[in-house]
Chains A and B, each alone.
Chain A
Amino acid sequence: MKQQIIISGLGGQGALTLTRLLAEAAAALGLDFITSETHGMAQRGGTVISMVKVGPFRGPLIPAGTADVGLFLHRRNLAAHHFYLKPGGVVFINSDIPGDYHNIDASGLALSHGWPPVAANFILLGFAAARKGLFCKVELLAQIISAIMPARFLEMNLSAFRTGVDQAV
């Protein structure tokens, strides 16, 4: 099993949370993995990217043109980070505009449920998992969310995740 995933967003959109959930999922499946994150100055509302490499990799970075999956938390980031995807790589994108990729208006859905904007990341994750874009299944991710997210956000996070799953049909 080898899968390389990029998670692209703006600082504060919760890219790091998705990275951690996918890492936990890989660990639960007994798969090798290494991840890479953005910290520091760029987190201040700038464009950030995380990478998850599942399989026998050693380096934390995904070379340009080789990512299997892209999770884009903001459509603006497509221009900046699409080049990481390999030809035929699968893109899931939080966008209120329909398009050629797996588009979902996760921010709009979060707003309509009265959740804070950051909940869009769980919606996008549920959507991508249910569309079978990820190395791990919906149920495993739901279990991991339940296991590691703080209790006070758990219900909202799970609901957001399920909302994304429901949209995948």
Chain B
Amino acid sequence: MESKLINGDTHRILMGNEAIGRGLVESGCSLAASYPGTPASEILPSVTAFAKEEGLAVHTEWSVNEKVAYEVALANSMAGRRSAVSMKQVGLNVASDPFLRSAYLGVKGGLLVIAADDPGPHSSQTEQDSRFFAMFAKVPVFDPASPQEAKNMVGRALELSEKYELPVMLRPTTRVCHARQNIPLYEPLKLERPARFEKNPPRWCATPQFLRELHRLLNDKIRRIAAASDFFPGLASGDGSFPTTCVVASGVAFAHTWDILDEMGLLGRVDLHQVIMPFPLNRDFIDKIKQRYARVLVLEETYPVIELQLAGGAAVHGRLTSSVPSEGELTPEVIRQVLEQFLELPQKTAPAHPAGGGSRPTLCAGCGHRAAFYAIRETFPEGIFPSDIGCYTLGLNINAVDTAHCMGAGLSQAAGFYHAYAADGGEVPAIVATIGDSTFFHAGIPALLNAVLQKARFILVILDNATTAMTGHQPTPESGLAAGGTPGQPVFIADLVRACGVKFLKECDPYDIPAFQGLLKEADRYCRSPEGAVAVILAKHPCVLNKQVGSEQKVFQVEVTEECIACRHCLDEFECPALFMSEVTGQAAVDPLRCVGCGVCVHVCPTGAITAREE
């Protein structure tokens, strides 16, 4: 790709995700689709922003889920245009169906699948390795070590995708996604590619009779890519101090290894290879490693993808040999220890992470979810509370969330718990599922429909804060806003709930805890009545992090009076970060810096010691 620096605005400090978005715009990508999820959320807004800045027509969308996003991007590629779909690693689980088949059927315009992994994990349900998923799908995958590399790989990956008519994956990890560097900007590639879908039923509708041949073609593509010299790993040569030993690293583990070897004075003394395409691993590289070295250390996150392909020949040290811990992030401290052991150097003890210390995440002061959770648990002390993925998972801090599995699971788990207890013949406890608005659109609709169909009886509270809060306030379908902020067609939760066959649907602002508790009891009576079924309550209170909401809602002056008996109920059962136990008075107190004046805690104090005066 020929490019030149834009004069006058040559560099920009960009986060890894923004660099990837910039890379897509510079590479002539005409459509990008995504569903928000940490650590991938900032990629799509970056595409939108840079396309706007460059005056380019790029369709960007927050799809309702990753499978939908994948299929939208796939069709744009089938029409001959460059496309991208981005998601967090567990999003690829949702999109796995179209992903695996598209490896067989292939693509036309380049299709880049960006799956951002979260070793650790920091903000995810698993620390699965999407490179393994790529290997499973037989799709090439790039593993960047920095924002700059991630951006460079975008263009190369799209070219590779077009050359072999195969989707290609870019797999950044949290540390790359959320690192910032000074990144050079280039002029976007202007591809004149009108949409042209060429019909080809044996390919695009491939029935089983065609798939064996498509699979053979796929295998052949992967073999040819593994034989191509374009993606041969890089090498920082040693000086012969360790003649038959080398380190092979990929992703951010390579960057950390570089820094640590530098700190240890070993950079340039031991051979250090950087793998940029972990699958398919270059054939000549595999041969070279086997012939040239007696001992090899592989540092990669999070599963042994390179290590498995290097098996046989040299003694390979990695996760399979327990030379590298089998789980967790490869932080500099971990890598240092592994290197010292592998290179048989004296062990330097690093200062340990202190146990405890710091504060656990909690729902924000004034969060409507906290009010809803408090009401649910107070109303049904013996209830079962399946929940879901989002800010509201933090309801577990106040024992109002009993399960958090994967997007949409809480709703089906509620149905499953009902069937378990009902079939058992004993008393069915109150089952109250909670799900956020964005999660409901993502995976809640089929689950609700199924629960109604199967005659499950439980209460579903949809926590509607009018945004996708956890990942940075992306619009939900109910707002009707497109990714670029332009108006689209709103789709309403209440309409969807009714369309799923729900007969009990009520709405309430959970700030009004007594009214909300009244509704919960009414819903419970409905569930247990002869004609009972799933009861749905829409708990609507906009996210307080939305600046406009913050300025529009009533603000109370909240105080704790002398009546406080220091029972800790407000601290332990409500856990508002603005309430604390004063060391001075020995009573609960309000932190004026953190209190947003929602006044909900007035309903919480058993002795009425919390008062709220309208300002």
Contacts and interface: CB of A to CB of B under 8 A. Distances in A.
A54 B433 CA distance: 48
Given A47-B359, A60-B252, A64-B353, 16 more contacts: A27-B182, A37-B15, A37-B178, A45-B359, A58-B145, A59-B256, A59-B258, A60-B146, A60-B178, A60-B255, A61-B256, A63-B333, A65-B350, A66-B263, A81-B358, A83-B353
A60 B362 contact: no
A44 B358 contact: no
B361 A34 contact: no
Contacts of B351: 64-65, 83
A19 interface: yes
A40 interface: yes
Given A11-B361, A80-B357, A35 B179 contact: yes
A79 B358 contact: yes
Q: Specify the main secondary structure of chain B where it touches its partner.
A: loop
A7 to B, nearest CB: 13
Interface string A72-88: 00001101111100000
B566 interface: no
Given A41-B38, A59-B259, A79-B354, A46 B359 contact: yes
Interface of B: 11, 13, 15, 38-39, 41, 122-123, 145-146, 175-176, 178-182, 252, 254-256, 258-260, 263, 331-333, 336, 350-354, 356-364, 391, 393-394, 470-472, 577, 593-594
Contacts of A12: 364
Please name the 8 residue pairs, one residue from A and one from B, whose CB atoms are nearest each other, closest first.
A40-B123, A47-B358, A40-B38, A80-B358, A46-B361, A80-B357, A63-B332, A60-B179
Given A34-B180, A117-B593, A44 B146 contact: no
Nearest to A49: B358
A36 interface: yes
Interface string A23-67: 110110000111111111111111100000000011111111110
Contacts of A79: 354, 356-358
Contact of A10 (B41, B123, B359): B359
B178 A38 contact: yes
A39 B362 contact: no
Given A35-B180, A111-B593, A117-B593, A42 B354 contact: no
A81 B259 CA distance: 21
14 contacts: A20-B13, A20-B180, A23-B180, A40-B471, A45-B577, A57-B259, A58-B256, A59-B255, A59-B256, A64-B332, A77-B358, A79-B354, A80-B354, A81-B358
**Which of A26, A40, A46 has the most chain B CB atoms closer than 10 A to its own CB?**
A40
